[in-house]
Amino acid sequence: MQKQKQNLALKSFYNYDSLRNLEDLSDDIIQANLEMTDMEIESLTSILNEMELQIKTTEVLDQDGDEMINKISKVFKLSLIPNSNRKFLIYDNAKDTSIELRCLPAIELYFAIPHAYPSNIGPLFYMDTSFYEPFKNFLYDQLAQKWYENNPVTYECIINIQDDFLNSFFDQGDLGNVKLNDRGQVQFNYIGVDFQRVFEKSMEAQRRSFNNEEHDCKICMRKYLGDKFFFLSGCEHFFCYDCMITMVNQAINQNQVNKLICGEASCKKNLNDIDIRNLGLDRQTIEKYDKISLTNAIAQMDDLGWCPLPGCDSLATIEKDVNYGKCQHCDFMFCLDCRERYHPYKRCMVNRLDLVDIISEAEKESLDMKNKRAEEALNILFFRYCAKFCPNLKCGIRIQKEKSGCTKMQCPKCHHHFCWACLHDAKGMKHYKEKPECNDDGPHLQPEHLTQDIKNKHLAEGDDYINLKFCVLCPHCKSINQKKTKQNMLECVRCAGVFCYICNKPISGPEHYQGKSLCHVESDPWTDF
C-alpha cells in the first residue's frame, strides 16, 4: 500500500500525450538538453530552499508497463506558497459554513522533464494538492503557455505560481470557484471540503513563510530567522527560543510558574502547559515544573493540602470547618494554623498575642541578639507605639510616621489622605482649620526609641499588661482586640467585624458554634490556657 501511495502514474501528468509523438533525437541534442536542464535545476537550488525544491528520481513514477518513462530524464517537486496580501475565505456550499485564512496552502507540483526538453517539448506537470484540484487544469494551461521551442520555463513557472496565480483568476473574470467578495476577501467556493485539513495546511504554509524571513525578538531585541522563534499557542506572539527558555527556567527556579505571562507589553496571557513542555527543557527542569504545578493546584483546593511532617510531604485531607488535616500516607492529624498535632477544644497559639512570655524573655536578652522571640517582642511593641493602621478599611496596612511635625499623611498603598493625630480624612487643609490641635501631635517614636523605658511603662500598666495574654488580631483589619468576658464571639473595636476568639476566623453569628464546630460559645479567659 505504501508503494502505491508514493508512486505517481506518468499518465496522470499534464502533457503526457505529447511523449507518444516524439521523434527520436540525436545524442547531441539529448546531451545539450540534459546540460541545459542541469543548469536550470542548479539555478533553482540557489533561489529555493529544501522545502520549496526537492530533486527526485524517476523511481517516484509508477514503473509498471509504461514505456514512456524511458523518455523522462529528471523529476523534481516544487512546493510554493502563492504570494498575496489579501485575506481568504473558504466556503462550503453544501454545509453553508466557512473559515478565514491568512495564507493559502502551498501548491505542490511535480515536474517530469523529458529528454526532449527544452528543444522539442515542454515539461510535464502533476499537481499533488487536493485544495487546488478544481483549478488544476487552469494552472496547467497557464504553465504550458510559458514554453516555446528551446526555451527553459521552470523559473517562469515558479514566478507564475508565487506571484501571478491568484491575479490570473481575476484577469479571467469569475471562474465560478473563486471570486472577490464584498469584504475584499478572495473567496474559494467548494462543495464538501475538509476544513481541518485545509486549516492545517494553511498554518503549515504560514509558518514556512515566517521561517524564511528575519524578525525581531521583543525581549532581547535581536534579529533572527523565523525558525529560531517560538510561538505561544494562547496568543500567537513569538519570541526567540533562547529568551523563552531563559524566562521559563528562571520562573521554575524561583517557584513562580504561575507568573509566567507573554512577553508582549500589551498582552497578559499566561503561558500554558503545552507551551512550556514544547520548549525542549531538560528532564530535571520538567520534573521540577510538574512538582510546582501540582503544589499550585493543591493550593487552590479546599479539601487537599500537604502533610507538615518532615520527610513525608504527602497529600493530606483538609476539613476547614473544624481546622483539621489528616495525612493520607502517615495518618498524622494536625492543626491547619500551627501545623502541629491537632488540639481540639484549645485555641491555637498562632492566633494569640502572647506578649507576657515574649516580653519577659526579651527583657533578659540584649537587643542585638538574633533570638527570634526577642525580635518578635520588639516588632509588636513597635507597631503598638510607633505605627498606625491606614484608616481606609479597604486597605488597613500599618504605616510608620518617620518625622515629627506635619500630621497630614498619605497611605503608600491606597493613597488615602488622612490625619495622623485623629485618623480622620484630610485630603486638603480644611480639616486642620477646623481642628488646629491636629496640626502637630508632638514627637513620634522611632524603632531606636524602643528602650527599656517603653517596656517598663508597659509593665507598669499592671492588669492591662497581663490581659495582653488574651489578645488576638482581628482577621478583618488586623487590629488588636482583647477578650474581657467569657464570650468567644468578639466584635472588633476598630472595624466592628465579628470573629471567633477560639479559631480567629470571621463569623456571621452564634450559628458558628453549632454543628461540627469544635469552638465553644463561652470559655474562661483565666483558665482556658
Strand duo 124-127 + 107-114: pairing: antiparallel
Task: Express each pLDDT in 479-527 by its tens digit.
Answer: 777 787 888 899 988 788 899 888 888 898 888 888 767 788 887 654 4
pLDDT confidence bin for 216, thresholds 50/70/90: very high
Longest dimension (CA), the chain: 124
Nearest-angstrom CA–CA distance, 409 and 390:
10
Model confidence pLDDT, tens digit, residues 416-461: 888 887 788 888 888 888 888 787 654 444 444 444 444 444 444 4
pLDDT tier at 286, thresholds 50, 70, 90: very high
What local confidence, expressed as pLDDT, does residue 422 receive?
Answer: 79
pLDDT of residue 457: 46
11-29 mean pLDDT = 85
The grid coordinates of residue 405 equal 511635625
Find residue 417's DSSP bridge partners. Answer: 410
Match domain 216-299 to its CATH number in 3.40.50.2300, 3.20.20.140, 3.30.40.10, 3.90.1150.200.
3.30.40.10
Task: Over range 372-391, report the average pLDDT.
Answer: 61
Distances (CA, A) of 132 to 8, 138, 166, 169: 18, 10, 12, 13
Higher pLDDT, 78 or 484: 78
- Output 460-466 pairs: Cβ under 8 A, ≥24 positions apart: 465/355, 465/356, 466/356
What mean pLDDT do residues 273-278 have? Answer: 90
pLDDT score for 228:
92
Cell numbers that stand for 176 in this block: 465560478
The upper half-sphere exposure of residue 234, i.e. CA atoms within 13 Å in the direction of its Cβ, equals: 15
Per-residue confidence band for 229, with pLDDT thresholds at 50, 70 and 90: very high
Domain ranges in the chain?
Answer: 2-195, 216-299, 304-341, 345-353+448-529
Predicted pLDDT at 357: 53
User: What pLDDT score does 223 carry?
Assistant: 93
Residue 402: which of 455, 451, 449 has the closest Cα? 449
Determine if the peptide bond prior to 118 is cis (ω within 30°): yes
Task: Tell me, yes or no, if the pTM score tops 0.85.
Answer: no
Write the CA distances from 48 to 77, 85, 108, 123, integer angstroms. 11, 21, 14, 19
Q: What is the pLDDT at residue 463? A: 40
